[in-house]
Amino acid sequence: VQLQASGGGLVQAGGSLRLSCAASGRTFSRYTMAWFRQAPGKEREFVAGISWSGAGRYHADSVKGRFTISRDNAKNTGYLQMSVLKPEDTAVYYCAAKNDPRISALHYDYWGQGTQVTVSS
């Protein structure tokens, strides 16, 4: 499956953005999907994950209550709604998918190219 992330940009602290991850090539609905982020000089962080049906979701403590992961299998697209953004949310955000039903930070086979999110104070 090929993934294309989009929706990043520059936003002021407290603002919102919605990232999209468009999938093509295989049946997107069969894959667990996730969002990761990586800030300069920091390790990649597992931000959120969602099961193939959307019934199971995980959000990292650092974003819980502010970010929401979702998906629309009919549109082969996943989303990350980000609200109350903080400067520490600044990073390149990547979507990923795997043919494994477990929501976790591990074993993702497919990655999007990344989209930059910059939050100004």
| Cα–Cα distance, 47 to 79 (Å, whole number) | 12
- CA–CA gap between residue 28 and residue 47 (Å, rounded): 20
The pLDDT value given to residue 68: 98
pLDDT one-digit tens code per residue, 87-107: 999 999 999 999 999 999 999
In tens, the pLDDT along 47-101 reads 999 999 999 999 999 999 999 999 999 999 999 999 999 999 999 999 999 999 9
Distance of alpha carbon 37 from alpha carbon 111, whole angstroms: 12
C-alpha span between 87 and 73 (Å, rounded): 31
d(CA 19, CA 25): 20
Terminal-residue alpha carbon distance, the chain: 37
pLDDT greater than 80 at residue 26:
no
